[in-house]
Amino acid sequence: MKRFSISCLLIFIISCRGQNPTQSEQKVTPVGNPKIYLPDVKDIKYDPVYGNFNCGMQDKAGNLWFGTTGLGVYRYDGKVFTNFTEKDGLSNNHVYCIYQDQAGTIWFGTGIGACRYDGKTFTCIPVSANDSSNFYPFTGKALASSKTPVWSILQDKSGNFWFGTDKGVLRYNGILFTRFLDDSRVINKDSLKLKHHISSIIEDKTGNIWFTTWFEGVCRYDGKSVVQFKPFGEVWFAGILEDKNGNIWVGSRTHGAYRFDGNKFSNFADKEIFNSCGVISIAEDKAGNIWFGTESGELTMRESIGGVWCYDDKSFKNFTLKDGLSNMCVFSITIDKSGNLWFGTRGMGLCSYNGKTFTTYTEKGSNKISK
């Protein structure tokens, strides 16, 4: 691990260059806004155009964490960014979700399984790529070379973990992995398979577990039965949120967002442009405004349509490149304890919004280690 300081005169490189992390760690008080200077693709393999800042989270200590496609994760303590990659023990440099459990451990869903961080070391948790009903990750029954991506992680109120993967939903009690729908006690009248991409998992205030999926719509498990919803006939969903009033919001692939009030889903189409966007991420601020990270449903329109949308229960407002947004494709929204919004975008973009102005943190530049 390296800690890099950032100022208007200093820039940093992401690669560890094989140095001893403890000896090379330095602390320098930054001046102005910190920056992440993206490395040359010749040094580190990542896509500067289609690579993303995929996810974000603020931990209990106040640190912000951001996962990327190809550059591992960044931790921001309010002064400096610290980069963690495979060289530091991360299982893979593609990080799709970040989660903090009840004990304070940080979990990462990566391109080849899960990984947890206790503040000092990373522990890789291989996820089985076969169709066995259950397996113990550290006994050889799950291949350490498993390539199964983990897209979503949740620890429920009972302490059990749920993993959304390309192979469906897995549950983990700290020792044993089991396939959710292989449990004969689960009532499954809709004949769901849940063996494909599971985008997001949340637990609502009443204890229901919700999943957004590719191809099987939105699913809800109440502890006994799992049921399927196909709002307005759609089956491909990504972002999900329970708001302070208990409504469930879900983001569709190409037609904006839907809200479930406990009885039915409603479509939010009063903005024609919003209704043509795919909603990847959803968040609620302290004032109760709902924020949507989107991209155009049309590939040819992704440079001009999408961005961030804010809904105040009456109308939508769209934030775009003209306002200072890093990119029109927004993959993650993180709201910190101060109320600032952080947006992870395509093109390896990371920016924040304080209610008035946007600040961009990623920038292409030369690579030098801070002295």
Let me know if 204 is exposed, middle or buried by CB neighbors in 10 A (0-12, 13-18, 19+).
middle
Lowest mean pLDDT among 134-143, 152-161, 287-296, 317-326: 134-143
Contacts of 287 (CB under 8 A, 6+ apart): 312
Higher pLDDT, 210 or 143: 210
Q: Residue 194 contacts by C-beta under 8 Å, 6 or more apart in sequence?
A: 168, 169, 180, 181, 211, 213, 216, 219, 226
Give the model's pLDDT for residue 132. Answer: 57
- Comparison of pLDDT for 338 and 131, the residue scoring more: 338
Pairing of strands 290-296, 306-311: antiparallel
Whether pLDDT at 142 is above 90: no
Who's near 271: CB < 8 A, 6+ residues apart? 256, 309, 316, 318
CB 65 within 8 A of CB 107: no
Asked whether residue 5 carries a pLDDT value surpassing 50, the answer given is no
Sign for the pseudo-dihedral over CA of 227, 331, 291, 337: positive
CA distance 305 to 332: 17
Residues 134-157 have a mean pLDDT of 72
Q: Could you please report the per-residue DSSP string of 37-70? A: EEPPTTTS---TTT-BEEEEEE-TTS-EEEEEBS
What distance in Å separates the CA atoms of residue 297 and residue 239, rounded to the nearest whole number?
15
Minimum mean pLDDT range among 63-67, 122-126, 236-240, 367-371: 367-371
How many percent of the chain have pLDDT more than 70? 84
pTM of the entire structure? 0.86
What are the C-alpha distances in Å from 306 to residues 91, 105, 250, 295, 359? 32, 34, 17, 4, 19
pLDDT of residue 177: 84
Please determine, for residue 23, whether its predicted confidence score (pLDDT) is greater than 50: no
Share of the chain above pLDDT 90, in %: 67
- Mean local confidence (pLDDT), 89-118: 96
Structure tokens at 240: 């999900």
pLDDT at 332: 98
Residues listed for the chain:
371
